[in-house]
């Protein structure tokens, strides 16, 4: 089976029915809906661990004009600032 363009916006055609018609050969399973929550999972520890994974040369390239490494979370816009030397003596 296939789906026609008008069926994709037809409120009388259920999502389950559309899925079945598009993917019936592979099998279709519809799960209960889950609530979507806008929540950032970034943390100081997580960012620091990520920076430790870079080599000293890579971290040197991250240093800005102020002599620091700045990391801004693209989700929550939290800005964290580090001195490059903070990571030189620590092992991953």
Q: Is the pLDDT of residue 2 over 80?
A: no
* Number of domains present in the structure of the chain: 2
Encoding tokens for residue 35? 């609530």
Distance CA 25, CA 21 (A): 9
DSSP 13: S
Would you say residue 77 lies in a domain? Answer: yes
Would you say residue 58 lies in a domain? Answer: yes
Q: Is the pLDDT of residue 24 over 80?
A: no
Would you say residue 67 lies in a domain? Answer: yes
Domain that holds residue 15: 1-32
pLDDT band at 92 (very low <50, low <70, confident <90, very high): very low
Q: Is the pLDDT of residue 74 over 90?
A: yes
Handedness of CA 16, 18, 20, 22 (dihedral sign): negative
Would you say residue 38 lies in a domain? Answer: no
Would you say residue 54 lies in a domain? Answer: yes
Determine the pLDDT at residue 8. 86
Would you say residue 62 lies in a domain? Answer: yes
pTM: 0.58
**Are 50 and 79 within one domain?**
yes
**Are 48 and 20 within one domain?**
no
Would you say residue 37 lies in a domain? Answer: no
């Amino acid at each position: 089976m296939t789906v026609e363009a008008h069926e994709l916006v037809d409120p009388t055609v259920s999502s389950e029915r559309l899925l079945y018609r598009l993917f019936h050969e592979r099998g279709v399973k519809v799960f209960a809906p889950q609530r979507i929550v806008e929540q950032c999972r970034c943390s100081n520890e997580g960012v620091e661990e990520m920076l430790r994974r870079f080599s000293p040369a890579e971290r040197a390239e991250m240093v800005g004009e102020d002599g620091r490494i700045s990391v801004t979370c693209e989700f929550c816009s939290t800005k964290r600032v580090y001195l490059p030397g903070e990571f030189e003596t620590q092992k991953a």
